[in-house]
Amino acid sequence: MDKEIGFYLKRIFQTMEKNLNKDLENIDLTSMQAHILIYLYKNRNNIINQRDIERKFELTNPTVNGFLNRLENKGFIKRTVSHIDARNKEISLTEKSIALINDMKKSAKKMENKMTLGIEKEELEIFYKVIKKIFNNVQGGI
């Protein structure tokens, strides 16, 4: 058995990103832009600013600013001055992006079904336990 965990994890991620980008190209979104929109959707009842996105995705300020500028120019988000601190801008979804979220959720479910095809429930439970342990190991700097 080939035991190159990192190789397989990277290939799975690359393949998923490639498929996601292909699915999103017709609506002029990248996978990272979609991840940001989904994060905003999941947190739509909270006040979200740019720094929250930087922390969540472990990205720099200029990188996130670029993503947000493109999303705003495409009409997927709006930024408004915070009523709590005028130095910050709150980020929210537009109706256009909310309409797309349901389609993105359907695509994500299809990908999940494809990835788990032929895998028993018990096998998945073991896999989730192991992958979480691997994640925690690498997060800890091992």
142 — pLDDT class (breaks 50, 70, 90): low
Q: Is residue 33 part of a domain?
A: yes
Q: What is the pLDDT of residues 64-113, one digit of tens each?
A: 999 999 999 999 999 999 888 888 899 999 999 998 888 888 888 888 89
Instruction: Please determine, for residue 140, whether its predicted confidence score (pLDDT) is greater than 80.
Output: no
Residue 25 has pLDDT above 80, yes or no: yes
Looking up residue 29, the CATH number of its domain turns out to be 1.10.10.10
Q: What are phi and psi of 30, to 5 degrees?
A: -100, 165
Instruction: Give domain status of residue 24, yes or no.
Output: yes
The answer to whether position 127 is within a domain reads no
Strands (E) across the chain are located at: 77-81, 89-93
Q: Is residue 125 part of a domain?
A: no
Q: Does any domain span residue 135?
A: no
> Considering its fold, how many domains does the chain have in total?
1
